[in-house]
Amino acid sequence: MKQSFLFTKTRRDAPTDEVSRNAKLLIRGGFIHKEMAGVYSYLPLGLRVLNKVVGIIREEMNALGGQEVYLSALQDREVWEKTGRWDERAVDSWFKTELKNGAEAGLAFTHEEPITAMMRGHISSYKDLPKYPYQFQVKFRNETRARSGLIRGREFLMKDLYSFSRNETEHQAFYEKIKQAYHTIFARIGLGEKTVLTFASGGSFSKYSHEFQTLCAAGEDTIHLCDKCRIAVNSEIISEHTACPQCGNEKLTQEKAVEVGNIFTLGTKFSDALNLKYRNEVGKETSVFMGSYGIGPGRAMGVAVELFADEKGIVWPKSIAPFAVHLISLASSTKVKKEADALYEKLQKEDIEVLYDDRDARAGEKFADADLIGIPLRAVVSDKTPVGKVEIKARLTVVGQERTSDSARIISHAELLKMVSGK
């Protein structure tokens, strides 16, 4: 994509009421637009990142036998009354609305109730189980504190998968599989090294649920980490669980973290309340055994910004970067411009995701924008680059401990193509 074509502009300053690093940088880079506190719209660059995160999660959910659905965001009050969760003493973050006829509807804060009710039309025999519908769907929550940018929105995208199994044994086998899939997902997104499985207070059935917590100074959660196992315990339950659940180590270190995903055993709480039953092999009516599994793709994106950004701007992990390469033309002559245009065409032809800064702007401005936008690889064509060659430089975190700055070097177009196509 040509940068001159992109309608978004980078800006020097973030809104003054924005305190989180992720929101400041994402707004300045033109990734998101702040509608109001805790409510953000995704702009072309931001949507590309979000879609990358979603794409990775979708692949892993499909590999587990997930089937994608898209449930409505407007929800029927009656369904929620069956489990007692319409009551604001049970759920204090509801957004509710009224229909013209006076009936009330809810704006999806989660989907356990509606999906359980819906599955009654599709599950009646043991032969219909297990099933794993999932979706990427908007949720609305009237969060008290929405000061963490994409990490805590009042409207946000969630991946939620629901498992419907015959019994606890069948459920448990799936639960272990999805646990592994979550590790794979966070590794693929670039958060793997910082994301740890964490024991948290139970779902409705089991003693514990599991969270995937990413160690991050901006996190609102406190976890207690076992350095040996890379497993943690959420501070909510630490009083009853003061040692590592895996190795018994009692020297746990306290860390700030963000919950990027979680997995819950629900048992038959929802199927009992909403009458989701099946006939087993001997014809006996049995409640379906359930689990639910969430990930916040926008939250994961916000956490990636928090973790890898430096004083110059965002640094995207390769797998979720909006483009694979940022081509910058410093054209002082038509010859240089032609060279850059030709390289852009070549990259396009090879289906390489390239953002081409073809704008008529100063070099300093182009580099500052490139640093802010954070595409992992920068390729510059200028008076200094010989014909058929390009100067490349990796966008790496300068201040972060893990990554160090990589100096620029000149390579051929062919080498660049090879590098970004991974062939």
**Which of 100, 145 has the CB closer to ligand ATP?**
145
Contact 157, 298 (CB under 8 A): yes
Contact 140, 73 (CB under 8 A): yes
Helix (H, G, I), strand (E, B) or coil at 28: helix
Among 29, 149, 153, 313, binds ligand ATP (CB under 6 A): 153
Among 130, 149, 219, 296, binds ligand ATP (CB under 6 A): 296
Question: What distance in Å separates the CA atoms of residue 169 and residue 172, rounded to the nearest whole number?
Answer: 5
CA angle, residues 332, 337, 343, in degrees to nearest 5: 140
**Taking CB under 6 A as the rule, does residue 322 contact ligand ATP?**
no
Rounded to a whole number of angstroms, the minimum distance from the CB of residue 219 to ligand ATP is 9
Contact 63, 181 (CB under 8 A): yes
Question: What distance in Å separates the CA atoms of residue 166 and residue 121, rounded to the nearest whole number?
Answer: 16
**Taking CB under 6 A as the rule, does residue 203 contact ligand ATP?**
no
Which of these segments, 78-86, 148-156, 191-199, 247-255, binds ligand ATP (CB under 6 A)?
Answer: 148-156
Question: What distance in Å separates the CA atoms of residue 8 and residue 30, rounded to the nearest whole number?
Answer: 6
Residue 202 DSSP code = -
Site for ligand ATP in 242-281 (CB under 6 A): 259-262
**Taking CB under 6 A as the rule, does residue 143 contact ligand ATP?**
yes
**Residues near 375 by beta carbon (within 8 Å), at least 6 away in sequence:** 316, 321, 322, 323, 324, 325, 326, 355, 395
Rounded to a whole number of angstroms, the minimum distance from the CB of residue 423 to ligand ATP is 35
Which of these segments, 15-23, 149-157, 313-321, 402-410, binds ligand ATP (CB under 6 A)?
Answer: 149-157
Among 108, 117, 158, 336, binds ligand ATP (CB under 6 A): 158
SS (H, E, C) 163-200: EEECCHHHHHHHHHHHHHHHHHHHHHHCCHHHEEEEEE
Among 21, 48, 58, 152, binds ligand ATP (CB under 6 A): 152
Among 26, 295, 355, 373, binds ligand ATP (CB under 6 A): 295
Helix (H, G, I), strand (E, B) or coil at 354: strand
- Considering only CA atoms, give the Rg of the chain: 24
Among 28, 52, 299, 366, binds ligand ATP (CB under 6 A): 299
Which of these segments, 97-105, 116-124, 171-179, 295-303, binds ligand ATP (CB under 6 A)?
Answer: 295-303
**Which of 225, 352 has the CB closer to ligand ATP?**
225
Among 294, 313, 322, 376, binds ligand ATP (CB under 6 A): 294
Size of the residue set binding ligand ATP (CB under 6 A): 16
Which spans of this chain sit near ligand ATP (rule: CB under 6 A)? 110, 141, 143, 152-153, 156, 158, 259-262, 294-296, 298-299
